Amino acid sequence: MDASAHKAGNIIIADDDPSILLLLRHILSEENYDVTEARSGMEAIELCREFTYDLAIFDLVMPDVDGISACKEITLQVSNPPPVLIITSLDDDASVSSAFDAGAIDYITKPINWSVFKQRVKRIVESEQNRQKVKRLEFHDSLTGLPNRTLLLDRLESATLRAQRNQSMLALLMVDIDNLKLINETLGHSNGDKVIMSVANRLGKTIRDTDTLSRSGGDEFILIIENIQQLEDVGLMAAKFSRTIEHSLTIMDQDLHIKASIGISMYPQDGTDIGSLLSHSDAALYRAKEQGGNIYEFYSPDLGRQARRRLELESNLRHALENDELVVYYQPKINLTTGIAEGMEALVRWNHPEKGIIPPDDFIPVAEETGLIIPLGKQVIEKACAQFKQWQVDNIPVTNISINVSGRQFKEQNLVSLLQDVLNKHQLDATHIELELTESTLLKNEQQAESILNELHNMGLQISIDDFGTGYASLSYLKRLPIDILKIDKSFTDGILHDPDDIAIVNAIYGLAKGLGLKLVAEGIETSEQLEKIKQLGVDYGQGYLWSPPRPAEQYLELLESLS
């Protein structure tokens, strides 16, 4: 057990005289107090902002911030200020009055009578600890120690104001233990309390530090989840909470299967005031109970369907990775001078057994959010390299192959090790492999990106910036990072015939690429008119449906014949 649990209390002392600090620490430690030292009033203020103490003892006279000023600052600015005892050699009316006016609970004069000092400290600490106990009982549930309804309402009010200010979403989840009434009636309320404690402990270990978990009485818990980025995340959280709560518990030789129902309301979709959010989450909970329990329901049926679709998609994607349902399609990269296909871009597709081919926009965002992009990215690299090697063995002309790397994949997957293994396995020359990354991926952590890119480039791999011009284009990073190719985003190609701004941007990118010795690729070319304009602007390579949509590998020979 933590030794601090046996301490008589936590005290902070502040004095600029090291000898006084040493003496105070000695006296207080002998009385079994946990002592924190501060060598100035400013340091004491910062410590009181960060930690909770049962008593603060300040010398009146200190440089920078004296004891009176520190006392006033702590009393007014600290959310849970400790009582302050002032030590002073002054005992005139004005000095005593200024100490009390600043918020001090007591004072003691020098030279210190240590017997009196110890008794005053004991009295103040015990009084403060009793006050904290009363305060805790007022705002916390006596069984679980969680915030009660009073504190919940206060926090919910603050949370909605923050959400309004930040223009963000928050979720209110009402959690009700299924069949607790039956447990109370058959096994007694004391055993029902054991179930409540078990659920409280499990939920407490699952939530984030920024979330609020409260018990509003009976079998009901309420969670406030702030800073929701996407609605679908709430469904994932609710499903996670359901799995966390569901467990077996043996009480009085009875095996109990503990489950819960969850009702969810969203700010601002389901209400902007706390009354609406509470009543709507309660209504959603009632609907979950009506369906037999052990499920979660959104107040808005549309939101519920959307969240469940997201959860179903994640589950199906995990299944797809396990069952080899992901396939790689290929789109040619055309040399605009010769008209010959000199490379292929590998593009992942999901060959769903019931829905057929699913495009990446429908599942890559989910893969990114859930971390499934790591195994998915690995599969794409392995399959693309294996196919590239097979084309070489069959003497089919493919000069190089480019593979997309997502932001999370670049950050979390050991690309250097993975690519070394795959290239060695298939005996491929790294100089024929191109990795495509977006600007935002590289600039989220420039230092880490530079290190990884240098390793990849030293292996011989080519580095391409995808969707160039839509993010954080900067001469400085283009000079510093080992980049070989810029890909002009399709949005600029779309406007190349009629939008002077798009023409000017492509011209600027061309000048930038040529000045830095980089190759240039235009994406999304769909018409011969676009092609002619792109060629006039000096672009080296082109991709797009004008030549071919992405196709499976077995159609590559047919594609070559059509291009010739």
pLDDT in tens, 365-421: 888 878 899 999 999 999 999 999 999 998 888 889 999 998 889 988 899 999 999
- Percent of the chain exceeding pLDDT 70 equals 96
Q: Please state the rounded mean pLDDT for residues 310-317.
A: 84
- Three-state DSSP class for residue 200: helix
Which tokens in the block code for residue 466? 């995808």
Instruction: Give the CATH number of domain 149-313.
Output: 3.30.70.270
Q: Please state the rounded mean pLDDT for residues 455-469.
A: 90
pTM beyond cutoff 0.75? no
**Which pLDDT score, from 0 to 100, does residue 304 have?**
65
Q: In what order do the strands lie in the sheet with 260-267?
A: 212-217, 220-228, 169-177, 260-267, 296-298
Neighbours of 108 (CB within 10 A): 17
Residue 310 has pLDDT above 90, yes or no: no
**Which pLDDT score, from 0 to 100, does residue 2 have?**
43
In angstroms, the CA 124 to CA 130 distance is 10
Instruction: Of 39-53, 310-324, 467-481, give the lowest mean pLDDT range.
Output: 467-481
Q: Please state the rounded mean pLDDT for residues 241-263.
A: 91
Residue 174 has pLDDT above 90, yes or no: yes
CB proximity list for 448: less than 8 A, separation 6 or greater: 411
**Which pLDDT score, from 0 to 100, does residue 369 have?**
77
Residue spans per domain, the chain: 3-138, 149-313, 325-563
Q: Please name which of 161, 76, 158, 60 lies closest in space to residue 108, comparing C-alpha atoms.
A: 60
Residue 4 has pLDDT above 70, yes or no: no
Architecture of domain 325-563: Alpha-Beta Barrel (3.20)
Q: Please state the rounded mean pLDDT for residues 146-158.
A: 92
CB proximity list for 42: less than 8 A, separation 6 or greater: 64, 65, 70
CB proximity list for 378: less than 8 A, separation 6 or greater: 413, 418
Main-chain dihedrals φ then ψ at residue 398, nearest 5 degrees: -135, 115
Instruction: Of 15-19, 168-172, 348-352, give the lowest mean pLDDT range.
Output: 15-19
**Which pLDDT score, from 0 to 100, does residue 474 have?**
54
Q: Please state the rounded mean pLDDT for residues 542-560.
A: 89
* Residue 553 per-residue DSSP state: G
**Which pLDDT score, from 0 to 100, does residue 62 have?**
85
**Which pLDDT score, from 0 to 100, does residue 3 have?**
43
Per the document, the length of the chain is 564
Sign, CA dihedral 247-251-255-258, equals: negative
Neighbours of 198 (CB within 10 A): 17
In angstroms, the CA 328 to CA 403 distance is 10
In angstroms, the CA 104 to CA 66 distance is 13
Encode pLDDT of 352-380 as tens digits.
Answer: 998 899 889 889 988 887 889 999 999 99
Residue 102 has pLDDT above 90, yes or no: no
Q: Please state the rounded mean pLDDT for residues 439-463.
A: 86
**Which pLDDT score, from 0 to 100, does residue 564 have?**
66
Evaluate whether 191 touches 305 at the Cβ level (below 8 Å).
Answer: no
Evaluate whether 227 touches 144 at the Cβ level (below 8 Å).
Answer: no
Residue 149 has pLDDT above 80, yes or no: yes
More confident residue, 107 or 386: 386
In angstroms, the CA 70 to CA 72 distance is 5
pLDDT band, very low/low/confident/very high, at 164 (cuts 50, 70, 90): very high
Q: What CATH superfamily is the domain 3-138? A: Response regulator (3.40.50.2300)
Evaluate whether 68 touches 20 at the Cβ level (below 8 Å).
Answer: no
- Percent of the chain exceeding pLDDT 90 equals 49
Same fold, 3-138 and 149-313: no
Burial class (CB in 10 A: 0-12, 13-18, 19+), 19: exposed
Q: Please state the rounded mean pLDDT for residues 59-77.
A: 86
In angstroms, the CA 84 to CA 102 distance is 10
CA distances to 490, 493, 496, 530, 531 from 500, rounded to whole Å, are 16, 12, 8, 14, 17
**Which pLDDT score, from 0 to 100, does residue 97 have?**
84
Instruction: For the chain, give the mean pLDDT.
Output: 88
Evaluate whether 242 touches 295 at the Cβ level (below 8 Å).
Answer: yes
In angstroms, the CA 357 to CA 124 distance is 73
pLDDT band, very low/low/confident/very high, at 563 (cuts 50, 70, 90): confident
Q: List Cβ<8 Å contacts ≥24 apart for 281-290.
A: 281/172, 281/173, 281/174, 281/222, 282/174, 284/174, 285/174, 285/176, 285/261, 287/263, 288/261, 288/262, 288/263, 289/176, 289/178, 289/261
Beta strands 485-488; 519-522: pairing state:
parallel
Q: Please state the rounded mean pLDDT for residues 61-76.
A: 87
Query: Which string of b and e fits 364-392 if b means at least 16 CB within 10 Å?
Result: bbbbbbbebbbbbbbbbbbbbbebbbebb
**Which pLDDT score, from 0 to 100, does residue 204 have?**
92
Whether the bond between 268 and the residue before it is cis, its omega within 30 degrees of 0, is yes
Q: Please state the rounded mean pLDDT for residues 542-556.
A: 91
- SS3 annotation, 74-111: HHHHCCCCCCEEEEECCCCHHHHHHHHHCCCCEEEECC
